[in-house]
Amino acid sequence: MAGAAVTVAAGLGVRAWGGGDFAKYAGDALYTALVCAVVVVVAPRLRTAVAAAVALGFSWAVELLQIVGIPAALQPLLGSTFNAPDLFWYAVGAALCLVVGARGVRSWT
């Protein structure tokens, strides 16, 4: 869980001290990395590639659901506006998970 906490702290730090597109897109990548960390915690026997794919699929699904509308109660957590470049940055976050996993760091979650 330490890695998940570090991911959240990094996301908050980027938003607080970064600005503009960098902060937004770094936050998107870190969001997917956090989802990957949660997947690994819930299913620790999954290979990193599978956990990254699940996280990427979830992130893409949330983004695509924004086209049809996400209920107002969930918008603070899931967002409300579709932005096509986010799809790429979610993939960057999944790639980050693959890199961390390839280095044998399973305890990052």
Domain segments of the chain as ranges: 2-102
Q: Please state, in angstroms and rounded to a whole number, the distance separating the CA atoms of residues 32 and 24.
A: 13
Residues of the chain below pLDDT 70: 1-3, 104-109
| R_g of the chain computed on alpha carbons | 14
Look at residue 4 in the predicted model and tell me its pLDDT.
Answer: 74
Report the C-alpha gap between 72 and 51 in whole angstroms: 29
To the question of pTM greater than 0.75 for the whole model, the response is yes
Position 109 scores a pLDDT of 44
